[in-house]
Chain A
Amino acid sequence: MDFLNLLARLADLDSTSAAPQLAAPRRAALGRLGQAGTALLPGLLLSALGQPATAGALDTRTRLDVLLLVRQLAALGNELHSRALGLVPGYPALPLTAAEKAGIQVIQQQEVQRVALFSRLITDGGATLPAAPRYDFTGSRNGAQTALYPDIQTNPDTYLLVAQVVKDVAVRAYKSQVDFVRSDAYLTETMLRSHSAEARHASHLRTMRRQRGAVVKSWVSPNDAPVAAPSPAIAKVYEGESGFIQTYNASDSSGQGGPLVSVPFDSTLPINVATPPLSAEAILRKVAEAFDEPADAVIATNVAALFTY
Protein backbone atom coordinates (compact mmCIF):
# COMPACT_ATOMS: atom_id res chain seq x y z
CA MET A 1 0.00 0.00 0.00
CA ASP A 2 1.51 3.32 -0.93
CA PHE A 3 1.84 5.99 1.68
CA LEU A 4 -0.76 8.43 0.42
CA ASN A 5 -3.28 5.68 0.10
CA LEU A 6 -2.49 4.62 3.65
CA LEU A 7 -3.09 8.15 4.90
CA ALA A 8 -6.36 8.30 3.08
CA ARG A 9 -7.49 5.00 4.53
CA LEU A 10 -6.56 6.06 8.03
CA ALA A 11 -8.55 9.25 7.67
CA ASP A 12 -11.57 7.48 6.33
CA LEU A 13 -11.51 4.90 9.09
CA ASP A 14 -12.07 7.66 11.59
CA SER A 15 -14.42 9.97 9.82
CA THR A 16 -17.45 10.05 7.68
CA SER A 17 -18.77 13.21 6.19
CA ALA A 18 -22.26 12.33 7.37
CA ALA A 19 -21.57 11.89 11.07
CA PRO A 20 -19.25 14.35 12.77
CA GLN A 21 -17.41 12.75 15.66
CA LEU A 22 -16.25 14.48 18.77
CA ALA A 23 -13.66 11.94 19.87
CA ALA A 24 -10.03 12.89 19.39
CA PRO A 25 -9.12 10.56 16.60
CA ARG A 26 -5.37 10.91 16.46
CA ARG A 27 -4.67 8.29 19.08
CA ALA A 28 -7.04 5.98 17.26
CA ALA A 29 -5.28 6.74 14.01
CA LEU A 30 -1.97 5.74 15.53
CA GLY A 31 -3.55 2.53 16.76
CA ARG A 32 -4.93 1.75 13.36
CA LEU A 33 -1.60 2.46 11.79
CA GLY A 34 -0.29 -0.42 13.88
CA GLN A 35 -3.13 -2.58 12.72
CA ALA A 36 -2.34 -1.68 9.15
CA GLY A 37 0.92 -3.52 9.65
CA THR A 38 3.26 -0.69 8.81
CA ALA A 39 6.45 -0.60 10.78
CA LEU A 40 7.51 2.72 9.40
CA LEU A 41 6.13 5.95 10.81
CA PRO A 42 7.25 8.62 8.38
CA GLY A 43 8.21 11.98 9.78
CA LEU A 44 5.43 13.41 7.68
CA LEU A 45 2.77 11.61 9.65
CA LEU A 46 4.41 12.34 13.00
CA SER A 47 4.45 16.04 12.30
CA ALA A 48 0.89 15.81 11.16
CA LEU A 49 -0.16 14.21 14.42
CA GLY A 50 1.61 16.89 16.37
CA GLN A 51 -0.73 19.63 15.24
CA PRO A 52 -3.41 20.84 17.62
CA ALA A 53 -6.86 19.39 17.17
CA THR A 54 -9.97 21.49 16.94
CA ALA A 55 -12.79 20.14 19.05
CA GLY A 56 -15.61 18.73 16.99
CA ALA A 57 -13.82 18.94 13.67
CA LEU A 58 -13.06 15.97 11.48
CA ASP A 59 -9.40 16.46 12.16
CA THR A 60 -7.77 13.19 11.30
CA ARG A 61 -6.28 14.74 8.17
CA THR A 62 -3.89 17.62 8.28
CA ARG A 63 -3.39 20.43 5.85
CA LEU A 64 -0.34 18.55 4.59
CA ASP A 65 -2.37 15.42 3.91
CA VAL A 66 -4.85 17.52 1.98
CA LEU A 67 -2.16 19.25 -0.06
CA LEU A 68 -0.49 15.94 -0.90
CA LEU A 69 -3.80 14.55 -2.09
CA VAL A 70 -4.73 17.46 -4.35
CA ARG A 71 -1.17 17.59 -5.70
CA GLN A 72 -1.35 13.87 -6.46
CA LEU A 73 -4.60 14.35 -8.38
CA ALA A 74 -3.26 17.34 -10.32
CA ALA A 75 -0.06 15.46 -11.22
CA LEU A 76 -2.04 12.47 -12.41
CA GLY A 77 -4.24 14.71 -14.55
CA ASN A 78 -1.22 16.43 -16.02
CA GLU A 79 0.31 13.11 -17.09
CA LEU A 80 -2.98 11.77 -18.47
CA HIS A 81 -3.56 14.85 -20.63
CA SER A 82 0.09 15.28 -21.59
CA ARG A 83 0.15 11.75 -22.99
CA ALA A 84 -3.10 12.36 -24.90
CA LEU A 85 -1.59 15.49 -26.42
CA GLY A 86 1.60 13.68 -27.46
CA LEU A 87 3.78 15.66 -25.06
CA VAL A 88 5.32 12.56 -23.46
CA PRO A 89 7.94 10.57 -25.42
CA GLY A 90 6.65 7.13 -26.35
CA TYR A 91 3.01 8.19 -26.30
CA PRO A 92 1.79 9.42 -29.69
CA ALA A 93 -0.94 12.05 -29.63
CA LEU A 94 -4.51 10.80 -29.75
CA PRO A 95 -6.52 11.55 -32.92
CA LEU A 96 -8.38 14.51 -31.41
CA THR A 97 -9.68 17.41 -33.49
CA ALA A 98 -7.84 20.72 -33.31
CA ALA A 99 -10.67 22.19 -31.22
CA GLU A 100 -10.63 19.24 -28.85
CA LYS A 101 -6.86 19.51 -28.47
CA ALA A 102 -7.12 23.21 -27.67
CA GLY A 103 -9.49 22.47 -24.81
CA ILE A 104 -7.34 19.66 -23.42
CA GLN A 105 -4.31 21.94 -23.55
CA VAL A 106 -6.10 24.42 -21.30
CA ILE A 107 -6.80 21.68 -18.77
CA GLN A 108 -3.26 20.28 -18.97
CA GLN A 109 -1.63 23.66 -18.49
CA GLN A 110 -3.80 24.43 -15.49
CA GLU A 111 -2.89 21.06 -13.99
CA VAL A 112 0.76 22.03 -14.28
CA GLN A 113 0.01 25.33 -12.57
CA ARG A 114 -1.73 23.62 -9.69
CA VAL A 115 0.99 21.02 -9.27
CA ALA A 116 3.39 23.96 -8.94
CA LEU A 117 1.12 25.78 -6.48
CA PHE A 118 0.56 22.77 -4.23
CA SER A 119 4.21 21.76 -4.42
CA ARG A 120 5.18 25.25 -3.27
CA LEU A 121 2.72 25.15 -0.38
CA ILE A 122 4.04 21.75 0.68
CA THR A 123 7.70 22.71 0.58
CA ASP A 124 7.05 26.13 2.13
CA GLY A 125 5.53 24.22 5.04
CA GLY A 126 8.80 22.36 5.50
CA ALA A 127 7.70 19.03 4.05
CA THR A 128 9.27 17.24 1.13
CA LEU A 129 7.57 16.24 -2.08
CA PRO A 130 6.95 12.55 -2.76
CA ALA A 131 8.76 10.94 -5.66
CA ALA A 132 6.94 11.13 -8.97
CA PRO A 133 4.88 7.95 -9.44
CA ARG A 134 4.88 5.79 -12.57
CA TYR A 135 1.65 5.84 -14.51
CA ASP A 136 -0.11 3.28 -16.67
CA PHE A 137 -3.48 4.62 -17.78
CA THR A 138 -4.49 1.31 -19.32
CA GLY A 139 -4.81 0.12 -15.73
CA SER A 140 -2.60 -2.91 -16.36
CA ARG A 141 0.04 -1.78 -13.85
CA ASN A 142 2.67 -2.04 -16.55
CA GLY A 143 1.42 -5.37 -17.81
CA ALA A 144 1.08 -7.01 -14.39
CA GLN A 145 -2.66 -7.50 -14.83
CA THR A 146 -5.39 -7.33 -17.47
CA ALA A 147 -5.80 -3.80 -18.76
CA LEU A 148 -8.97 -1.94 -17.72
CA TYR A 149 -8.74 0.51 -20.62
CA PRO A 150 -6.51 -1.22 -23.20
CA ASP A 151 -7.12 1.35 -25.96
CA ILE A 152 -6.73 4.52 -23.90
CA GLN A 153 -3.64 5.59 -25.84
CA THR A 154 -5.38 5.25 -29.20
CA ASN A 155 -9.11 5.79 -28.66
CA PRO A 156 -10.20 9.35 -27.76
CA ASP A 157 -13.54 8.12 -26.38
CA THR A 158 -11.82 5.86 -23.87
CA TYR A 159 -9.41 8.61 -22.89
CA LEU A 160 -12.20 11.18 -22.44
CA LEU A 161 -14.23 8.79 -20.31
CA VAL A 162 -11.28 8.20 -17.99
CA ALA A 163 -10.55 11.93 -17.97
CA GLN A 164 -14.13 12.66 -16.94
CA VAL A 165 -14.10 10.03 -14.19
CA VAL A 166 -10.82 11.35 -12.79
CA LYS A 167 -12.15 14.93 -12.77
CA ASP A 168 -15.52 14.07 -11.29
CA VAL A 169 -13.93 12.13 -8.46
CA ALA A 170 -11.49 14.97 -7.80
CA VAL A 171 -14.40 17.40 -7.50
CA ARG A 172 -16.00 15.08 -4.96
CA ALA A 173 -12.79 14.62 -2.97
CA TYR A 174 -12.09 18.35 -2.74
CA LYS A 175 -15.43 18.82 -0.98
CA SER A 176 -14.59 16.40 1.81
CA GLN A 177 -11.08 17.79 2.25
CA VAL A 178 -12.17 21.37 2.90
CA ASP A 179 -13.41 20.21 6.31
CA PHE A 180 -9.79 19.53 7.27
CA VAL A 181 -8.36 22.93 6.39
CA ARG A 182 -11.07 25.21 7.71
CA SER A 183 -8.87 26.65 10.44
CA ASP A 184 -6.69 28.08 7.65
CA ALA A 185 -8.63 30.78 5.78
CA TYR A 186 -6.02 31.08 3.02
CA LEU A 187 -5.93 27.37 2.33
CA THR A 188 -9.72 27.12 2.53
CA GLU A 189 -10.07 29.75 -0.16
CA THR A 190 -7.31 28.16 -2.24
CA MET A 191 -9.10 24.82 -2.03
CA LEU A 192 -12.41 26.39 -3.03
CA ARG A 193 -10.85 28.13 -6.01
CA SER A 194 -9.14 24.95 -7.13
CA HIS A 195 -12.33 22.94 -6.57
CA SER A 196 -14.41 25.13 -8.89
CA ALA A 197 -11.64 25.07 -11.51
CA GLU A 198 -11.78 21.28 -11.37
CA ALA A 199 -15.53 21.40 -11.87
CA ARG A 200 -15.10 23.62 -14.93
CA HIS A 201 -12.69 21.06 -16.39
CA ALA A 202 -15.11 18.22 -15.62
CA SER A 203 -17.94 20.11 -17.30
CA HIS A 204 -15.86 20.70 -20.43
CA LEU A 205 -14.83 17.04 -20.68
CA ARG A 206 -18.49 16.07 -20.35
CA THR A 207 -19.48 18.58 -23.03
CA MET A 208 -16.78 17.14 -25.31
CA ARG A 209 -18.07 13.62 -24.75
CA ARG A 210 -21.65 14.69 -25.47
CA GLN A 211 -20.50 16.32 -28.71
CA ARG A 212 -18.95 12.97 -29.63
CA GLY A 213 -22.26 11.21 -29.05
CA ALA A 214 -22.14 10.11 -25.41
CA VAL A 215 -25.31 10.47 -23.32
CA VAL A 216 -23.93 12.74 -20.64
CA LYS A 217 -24.80 16.19 -19.34
CA SER A 218 -22.23 18.84 -18.45
CA TRP A 219 -23.37 18.36 -14.82
CA VAL A 220 -23.56 14.98 -13.08
CA SER A 221 -27.04 13.62 -13.72
CA PRO A 222 -28.99 10.44 -12.98
CA ASN A 223 -29.91 10.69 -16.66
CA ASP A 224 -26.29 10.20 -17.76
CA ALA A 225 -25.60 6.87 -19.40
CA PRO A 226 -24.07 4.70 -16.65
CA VAL A 227 -20.27 4.66 -16.68
CA ALA A 228 -18.98 1.13 -17.15
CA ALA A 229 -17.01 0.08 -14.09
CA PRO A 230 -14.24 -2.39 -14.90
CA SER A 231 -13.05 -1.97 -11.33
CA PRO A 232 -14.84 -1.43 -7.98
CA ALA A 233 -12.90 1.82 -7.61
CA ILE A 234 -14.62 3.22 -10.71
CA ALA A 235 -18.04 2.08 -9.48
CA LYS A 236 -17.54 4.19 -6.34
CA VAL A 237 -16.99 7.42 -8.31
CA TYR A 238 -20.70 8.06 -8.90
CA GLU A 239 -22.04 6.17 -5.90
CA GLY A 240 -24.41 8.34 -3.89
CA GLU A 241 -24.72 11.03 -6.56
CA SER A 242 -28.34 10.25 -7.42
CA GLY A 243 -29.96 10.98 -4.06
CA PHE A 244 -32.15 13.97 -3.33
CA ILE A 245 -31.73 14.13 0.45
CA GLN A 246 -29.81 17.15 1.72
CA THR A 247 -29.37 17.91 5.41
CA TYR A 248 -27.82 20.60 7.55
CA ASN A 249 -27.47 21.50 11.19
CA ALA A 250 -29.72 24.44 11.93
CA SER A 251 -28.03 27.19 13.87
CA ASP A 252 -28.53 30.76 14.89
CA SER A 253 -26.56 33.38 13.07
CA SER A 254 -23.17 32.17 14.26
CA GLY A 255 -23.66 28.98 16.26
CA GLN A 256 -23.31 25.38 15.27
CA GLY A 257 -24.54 22.01 16.33
CA GLY A 258 -28.26 22.64 16.15
CA PRO A 259 -30.77 20.00 15.19
CA LEU A 260 -30.31 18.13 11.93
CA VAL A 261 -32.77 19.37 9.32
CA SER A 262 -33.64 17.58 6.11
CA VAL A 263 -34.50 19.91 3.23
CA PRO A 264 -38.10 19.07 2.19
CA PHE A 265 -37.46 18.82 -1.55
CA ASP A 266 -39.88 15.90 -1.79
CA SER A 267 -42.77 17.55 0.01
CA THR A 268 -43.28 21.24 0.65
CA LEU A 269 -40.73 23.19 -1.41
CA PRO A 270 -42.28 24.72 -4.56
CA ILE A 271 -39.52 23.60 -6.91
CA ASN A 272 -41.58 21.98 -9.66
CA VAL A 273 -42.11 25.02 -11.89
CA ALA A 274 -42.12 23.40 -15.34
CA THR A 275 -45.16 23.66 -17.60
CA PRO A 276 -46.58 21.04 -17.42
CA PRO A 277 -45.03 20.02 -14.07
CA LEU A 278 -42.51 17.20 -14.02
CA SER A 279 -43.31 13.90 -12.38
CA ALA A 280 -42.32 13.63 -8.72
CA GLU A 281 -39.51 11.32 -9.74
CA ALA A 282 -38.26 13.64 -12.49
CA ILE A 283 -38.08 16.73 -10.29
CA LEU A 284 -36.09 14.80 -7.68
CA ARG A 285 -33.64 13.84 -10.42
CA LYS A 286 -33.16 17.56 -10.96
CA VAL A 287 -32.47 17.94 -7.23
CA ALA A 288 -29.82 15.23 -7.52
CA GLU A 289 -28.24 17.13 -10.43
CA ALA A 290 -28.23 20.37 -8.46
CA PHE A 291 -25.95 19.03 -5.70
CA ASP A 292 -22.56 17.38 -6.26
CA GLU A 293 -21.80 15.07 -3.34
CA PRO A 294 -18.53 14.88 -1.42
CA ALA A 295 -16.47 11.68 -1.34
CA ASP A 296 -13.80 10.54 1.09
CA ALA A 297 -10.20 10.89 -0.02
CA VAL A 298 -9.84 7.14 -0.39
CA ILE A 299 -12.42 7.09 -3.18
CA ALA A 300 -10.14 9.36 -5.21
CA THR A 301 -6.87 7.70 -4.20
CA ASN A 302 -8.27 4.30 -5.16
CA VAL A 303 -9.00 5.64 -8.63
CA ALA A 304 -5.52 7.16 -8.82
CA ALA A 305 -4.06 3.83 -7.73
CA LEU A 306 -5.61 2.10 -10.75
CA PHE A 307 -3.35 4.15 -12.97
CA THR A 308 -0.24 4.15 -10.81
CA TYR A 309 2.28 1.38 -10.23
Chain B
Amino acid sequence: MAGCGNDDDPKPVPDAGTGTLVFAANDTGILNLTYLLAQIQAALYQKVVTTPPADFTAADTAAFVDMRDHEVIYREFYKSVLGTSVYDNGLTTALEFNFTPYTLTTRKGVYEAARTLEDLAVGAYNGLGRRLANSSYLRLLLKITSVKARHAAFVRDQAEPNSFAGSDVITPTGNEAGLDTVKTPVEVAKLLAPLVPIVLVADNLMRL
Protein backbone atom coordinates (compact mmCIF):
# COMPACT_ATOMS: atom_id res chain seq x y z
CA MET B 1 0.00 0.00 0.00
CA ALA B 2 1.69 3.12 -1.20
CA GLY B 3 2.13 5.82 1.37
CA CYS B 4 1.51 3.43 4.20
CA GLY B 5 4.19 1.48 5.98
CA ASN B 6 1.91 -0.83 7.83
CA ASP B 7 0.75 -3.48 5.45
CA ASP B 8 0.79 -6.09 8.19
CA ASP B 9 -1.91 -4.50 10.24
CA PRO B 10 -4.24 -2.54 7.98
CA LYS B 11 -6.98 -2.41 10.56
CA PRO B 12 -6.05 0.41 12.91
CA VAL B 13 -8.50 0.92 15.73
CA PRO B 14 -8.70 3.99 17.95
CA ASP B 15 -7.44 2.30 21.08
CA ALA B 16 -4.78 0.01 19.65
CA GLY B 17 -2.24 2.54 18.51
CA THR B 18 -0.39 -0.16 16.61
CA GLY B 19 -0.92 1.26 13.14
CA THR B 20 1.69 3.43 11.52
CA LEU B 21 1.30 5.68 8.51
CA VAL B 22 4.59 6.56 6.84
CA PHE B 23 4.25 9.35 4.28
CA ALA B 24 6.35 8.67 1.19
CA ALA B 25 8.99 11.17 0.03
CA ASN B 26 7.08 12.27 -3.04
CA ASP B 27 3.88 13.96 -4.20
CA THR B 28 1.88 10.90 -3.14
CA GLY B 29 3.12 11.33 0.41
CA ILE B 30 2.27 15.03 0.37
CA LEU B 31 -1.23 14.47 -0.99
CA ASN B 32 -1.86 11.73 1.56
CA LEU B 33 -1.09 14.26 4.28
CA THR B 34 -3.45 16.87 2.81
CA TYR B 35 -6.02 14.08 2.39
CA LEU B 36 -5.72 13.19 6.06
CA LEU B 37 -6.12 16.87 7.02
CA ALA B 38 -9.27 17.11 4.93
CA GLN B 39 -10.63 13.87 6.43
CA ILE B 40 -10.11 15.20 9.94
CA GLN B 41 -11.70 18.57 9.23
CA ALA B 42 -14.64 17.08 7.34
CA ALA B 43 -15.25 14.72 10.28
CA LEU B 44 -15.06 17.53 12.83
CA TYR B 45 -17.39 19.84 10.92
CA GLN B 46 -19.83 17.00 10.24
CA LYS B 47 -19.90 16.34 13.97
CA VAL B 48 -20.64 20.01 14.65
CA VAL B 49 -23.37 20.15 12.00
CA THR B 50 -24.96 16.92 13.32
CA THR B 51 -24.76 17.96 16.97
CA PRO B 52 -24.37 21.73 17.16
CA PRO B 53 -23.73 23.38 20.51
CA ALA B 54 -26.81 24.84 22.18
CA ASP B 55 -25.67 28.44 21.66
CA PHE B 56 -25.08 28.07 17.92
CA THR B 57 -26.95 30.57 15.71
CA ALA B 58 -28.41 29.90 12.27
CA ALA B 59 -25.48 31.83 10.79
CA ASP B 60 -23.01 29.63 12.70
CA THR B 61 -24.66 26.50 11.36
CA ALA B 62 -24.70 27.86 7.80
CA ALA B 63 -20.98 28.60 8.01
CA PHE B 64 -20.17 25.13 9.33
CA VAL B 65 -22.32 23.51 6.63
CA ASP B 66 -20.30 25.44 4.04
CA MET B 67 -16.99 24.47 5.62
CA ARG B 68 -18.13 20.84 5.99
CA ASP B 69 -19.04 20.77 2.30
CA HIS B 70 -15.71 22.34 1.32
CA GLU B 71 -13.76 19.80 3.38
CA VAL B 72 -15.72 16.88 1.93
CA ILE B 73 -14.95 18.28 -1.52
CA TYR B 74 -11.23 18.45 -0.65
CA ARG B 75 -11.28 14.96 0.86
CA GLU B 76 -12.89 13.42 -2.20
CA PHE B 77 -10.71 15.48 -4.52
CA TYR B 78 -7.49 14.21 -2.92
CA LYS B 79 -8.83 10.68 -2.82
CA SER B 80 -9.66 10.91 -6.52
CA VAL B 81 -6.18 12.23 -7.40
CA LEU B 82 -4.44 9.58 -5.29
CA GLY B 83 -6.47 6.67 -6.66
CA THR B 84 -5.11 3.39 -5.29
CA SER B 85 -2.23 5.29 -3.63
CA VAL B 86 -4.58 6.73 -1.02
CA TYR B 87 -3.30 5.61 2.39
CA ASP B 88 -6.54 4.00 3.54
CA ASN B 89 -7.15 2.13 0.31
CA GLY B 90 -6.81 -1.21 2.07
CA LEU B 91 -8.71 -0.36 5.23
CA THR B 92 -12.12 -1.92 5.67
CA THR B 93 -13.26 0.90 7.94
CA ALA B 94 -12.15 4.51 7.78
CA LEU B 95 -10.08 5.91 10.62
CA GLU B 96 -12.09 7.33 13.47
CA PHE B 97 -10.69 10.59 14.77
CA ASN B 98 -10.48 11.63 18.38
CA PHE B 99 -11.86 15.09 19.06
CA THR B 100 -11.76 14.89 22.85
CA PRO B 101 -9.01 17.57 23.00
CA TYR B 102 -11.74 20.01 21.93
CA THR B 103 -14.82 21.35 23.69
CA LEU B 104 -17.54 20.86 21.11
CA THR B 105 -20.45 21.61 23.42
CA THR B 106 -20.10 25.39 23.28
CA ARG B 107 -20.00 27.84 20.39
CA LYS B 108 -16.71 29.21 21.67
CA GLY B 109 -15.19 25.74 21.96
CA VAL B 110 -16.29 24.79 18.46
CA TYR B 111 -14.78 27.92 16.94
CA GLU B 112 -11.56 27.41 18.89
CA ALA B 113 -11.32 23.83 17.59
CA ALA B 114 -11.92 25.03 14.04
CA ARG B 115 -9.34 27.77 14.56
CA THR B 116 -6.70 25.26 15.64
CA LEU B 117 -7.27 23.03 12.64
CA GLU B 118 -7.66 25.76 10.02
CA ASP B 119 -4.51 27.53 11.17
CA LEU B 120 -2.71 24.19 11.17
CA ALA B 121 -3.92 23.47 7.64
CA VAL B 122 -2.77 26.88 6.39
CA GLY B 123 0.66 26.36 7.94
CA ALA B 124 0.83 22.83 6.54
CA TYR B 125 -0.11 23.93 3.02
CA ASN B 126 2.38 26.79 3.14
CA GLY B 127 5.10 24.32 4.07
CA LEU B 128 4.10 21.66 1.55
CA GLY B 129 3.78 23.86 -1.54
CA ARG B 130 7.46 24.10 -2.37
CA ARG B 131 7.91 20.35 -1.80
CA LEU B 132 5.49 19.36 -4.57
CA ALA B 133 7.09 18.19 -7.83
CA ASN B 134 3.99 18.33 -10.02
CA SER B 135 3.18 21.98 -10.85
CA SER B 136 -0.45 21.21 -11.53
CA TYR B 137 -0.79 19.84 -8.00
CA LEU B 138 0.75 23.05 -6.65
CA ARG B 139 -1.75 25.14 -8.61
CA LEU B 140 -4.60 23.18 -7.07
CA LEU B 141 -3.02 23.36 -3.62
CA LEU B 142 -2.89 27.16 -3.98
CA LYS B 143 -6.54 27.31 -5.02
CA ILE B 144 -7.39 25.48 -1.80
CA THR B 145 -4.90 27.28 0.47
CA SER B 146 -6.60 30.65 0.15
CA VAL B 147 -10.01 29.18 0.91
CA LYS B 148 -8.49 27.51 3.97
CA ALA B 149 -7.04 30.86 4.99
CA ARG B 150 -10.47 32.45 4.52
CA HIS B 151 -11.95 29.74 6.76
CA ALA B 152 -9.18 30.36 9.29
CA ALA B 153 -9.75 34.12 9.38
CA PHE B 154 -13.51 33.64 9.70
CA VAL B 155 -13.38 31.17 12.59
CA ARG B 156 -10.68 33.22 14.33
CA ASP B 157 -12.86 36.34 14.12
CA GLN B 158 -15.75 34.36 15.62
CA ALA B 159 -13.61 32.95 18.44
CA GLU B 160 -12.09 36.38 19.14
CA PRO B 161 -13.02 39.56 17.24
CA ASN B 162 -10.32 40.97 14.95
CA SER B 163 -7.96 38.05 15.50
CA PHE B 164 -8.11 37.03 11.80
CA ALA B 165 -4.43 37.79 11.28
CA GLY B 166 -3.18 37.78 14.87
CA SER B 167 0.46 37.72 15.89
CA ASP B 168 0.23 33.99 16.66
CA VAL B 169 -0.19 33.30 12.94
CA ILE B 170 1.23 36.33 11.14
CA THR B 171 4.84 36.98 12.11
CA PRO B 172 4.71 40.38 13.88
CA THR B 173 8.37 41.46 13.76
CA GLY B 174 11.69 40.75 12.13
CA ASN B 175 12.63 39.67 8.63
CA GLU B 176 9.48 37.61 8.17
CA ALA B 177 7.08 40.25 9.49
CA GLY B 178 3.75 40.16 7.68
CA LEU B 179 4.08 36.54 6.56
CA ASP B 180 1.62 33.82 7.50
CA THR B 181 2.38 30.69 9.46
CA VAL B 182 4.39 27.84 7.95
CA LYS B 183 4.70 24.34 9.40
CA THR B 184 7.02 21.53 8.41
CA PRO B 185 5.46 18.12 7.71
CA VAL B 186 6.93 16.75 10.95
CA GLU B 187 5.38 19.62 12.92
CA VAL B 188 2.06 18.94 11.23
CA ALA B 189 2.23 15.22 12.06
CA LYS B 190 3.02 16.01 15.68
CA LEU B 191 0.09 18.42 15.98
CA LEU B 192 -2.28 15.91 14.39
CA ALA B 193 -1.07 13.01 16.54
CA PRO B 194 -3.62 13.45 19.38
CA LEU B 195 -6.46 13.27 16.87
CA VAL B 196 -5.56 10.14 14.91
CA PRO B 197 -5.58 6.52 16.08
CA ILE B 198 -2.36 5.67 14.23
CA VAL B 199 1.23 6.87 14.38
CA LEU B 200 2.08 9.44 11.71
CA VAL B 201 5.63 9.46 10.33
CA ALA B 202 6.33 12.46 8.12
CA ASP B 203 10.14 12.40 8.22
CA ASN B 204 10.38 11.46 4.54
CA LEU B 205 8.58 14.66 3.54
CA MET B 206 11.34 16.69 5.20
CA ARG B 207 13.74 15.54 2.49
CA LEU B 208 11.65 17.14 -0.25
Interface set of A (CB-CB < 8 Å, partner B) = 17, 20, 57, 99, 102-103, 106-107, 110-114, 116-117, 120, 171, 174-175, 178-179, 182, 185, 188-190, 192-204, 206-207, 217-220, 246-251, 253-256, 261, 263-265, 269-271, 273-274, 283, 286-287, 289-294
Contact = CB atoms under 8 A, between A and B. Distances in A.
Given A253-B28, A254-B26, A274-B65, A292 B179 contact: no
Contact of A269 (B76, B137, B166): B76
Contacts of B150: 199-200, 202-203, 206, 218-220, 292
B34 interface: no
B178 A194 contact: yes
Given A193-B181, A246-B140, A200 B28 contact: no
Most buried by A among B46, B76, B140: B76
B195 interface: no
26 contacts: A99-B161, A102-B162, A113-B177, A120-B175, A178-B142, A179-B135, A189-B129, A193-B179, A194-B179, A196-B180, A197-B178, A199-B145, A199-B150, A203-B151, A218-B154, A219-B66, A248-B137, A248-B140, A253-B26, A253-B28, A269-B77, A270-B76, A271-B72, A271-B76, A273-B72, A291-B147
B22 interface: no
A203 B68 contact: no
A203 B77 contact: no
B147 A201 contact: no
Which interface class (under 10, 10 to 19, 20 to 34, 35 or more) fits B? Answer: 35 or more
Interface in B41-86: 46, 63, 65-66, 68-70, 72-74, 76-77, 80-81
Contact of B139 (A17, A185, A192, A194): A17
A98 to B, nearest CB: 10
A103 B164 contact: yes
Q: Which 4 A/B pairs are nearest by Cβ-Cβ distance?
A: A113-B178, A253-B26, A199-B149, A203-B153
Interface in B126-179: 126-127, 129-130, 133-140, 142-154, 157, 161-162, 164-166, 169-170, 175-179
